[in-house]
Amino acid sequence: MQKPISRQYNKLGRGRHDSNQQLPKRGITVLAVSLFCFCSVAPDESAASPTIAQKPTPEDAAKLSLSEAKDIIQRGYRYWGSDGASDHASTAMEFNPKQIVAIAYNSDGTRIAWPGCTYETYTPYVQSVTTFTTGIHKGSPLYDAKGECSIQGSYWVEVYLPTPEAAYRVATALLRWKMSSLAERQELPALEGQQFAQTASTYRSSNPRPQVGEDLRRFQIAAETAIGEKRFSDAVNAYEDGLKIAPWWPEGHFNAALALGELHYYDEAIAHMTKYLRLAPEASDARAAQDKIYAWQSEQPTLPQGQAAPSKSATESSQSKPF
């Protein structure tokens, strides 16, 4: 039987972190389910008016699966929306079949939700702005991947990124979701579930179980380093990069779930912890892992519509509002 990797950190009271670091107890009491840019990281407004740099092409968007596009958008959003990158304590996202919703978590424990316009009604493009003026990226170049909404009074999607290439990739991913049908979006969770069910079945029936090789270990070490420095977003990215190579990796799902929970991304945290239990249903900490899922679910009441105005966007519009 495979000897499990020591878990890098564990709020369930089991496992150990090689650097003896533990996730801080942050007293989270709010739900994390949404994803839009409500522009809490303001660009330098003293600069010249921003210009549209590039629009993504349908040909580039068609090269992405809906899952790949979702991953690209999520990573882009985490770049500026977590780990002290914005003027909110954290921001999170939710994809649903009709729209994306953004949630801001403030340091006082309050939250604001901004529902976006429907996928069909926004226009993705890259906008050249200036520099970040707040957070850990202050002074760094800023490029805006925007899904501007054509519906008056609605919020549009924005993700601030450090390079035009990264911004174009997010804008392309937004276009992929715009091009998708409602049926495709509705079917995505079931499709992903079927694919992982096969992975889990194969893993549990393997004897011996797959072992962690060097190709996977490098992501594990990168994630552990990021956790030690409290860069939870980078840790999630490293774990998920490893899981692309080895979706059967139980400890990768376990630790990714905990890091996502720290960032208030409870939907994703629940998804990863559920996969951990599918892979290791007889693990000694299975009971505690399931209880952690219940705790995250308790943070997910019906979200109210946000009424407070978001911070200023890179550009202002009389037709729509930025997230």
| Residue-level pLDDT, tens digit, the chain, 323 residues | 333 333 544 444 333 333 333 333 322 222 222 333 333 334 443 333 344 568 999 999 999 999 999 999 988 888 877 766 565 566 777 788 888 877 777 666 667 777 777 888 888 999 877 787 777 777 888 888 888 877 665 667 788 888 889 999 999 999 999 999 999 999 999 999 999 999 999 999 999 999 889 999 999 999 999 999 988 989 999 999 999 999 999 999 999 999 998 888 888 899 999 999 999 999 999 999 999 999 988 876 444 433 333 333 333 333 334 44
Question: From the CB of residue 181, how many other CB atoms can be counted at a distance below 10 Å?
Answer: 11
| Beta bridge partners of residue 100, listed in sequence order | 95
pLDDT at residue 46 in the model = 38
Q: Which contiguous run of DSSP H or E holds residue 179? A: helix 164-179
Q: Can you tell me the distance from the alpha carbon of 194 to that of 187, in angstroms, rounded to the nearest whole number? A: 11
Q: How many residues does the chain have?
A: 323
> Measured between alpha carbons, how far apart are the two ends of the chain, in Å?
49
What's the pLDDT score for residue 98?
87
Residue 270: its pLDDT value, please?
Answer: 94
Q: Contact, 271 vs 253, CB < 8 A? A: no
Q: What is the predicted pLDDT for the residue at 138?
A: 78
Q: Which two tokens stand for residue 36?
A: 């839009």
Which pTM does this prediction carry? 0.74
Question: Where in the sequence of the chain do the CATH 1.25.40.10 domains occur?
Answer: 184-297
Q: Residue 248 in contact with residue 210, Cβ under 8 Å?
A: yes
Is the distance from CB of 124 to CB of 78 less than 8 angstroms?
no
Q: Which CATH number does 184-297 carry?
A: 1.25.40.10
Residue 173 burial by Cβ neighbours in a 10 Å radius (0-12, 13-18, 19+): buried
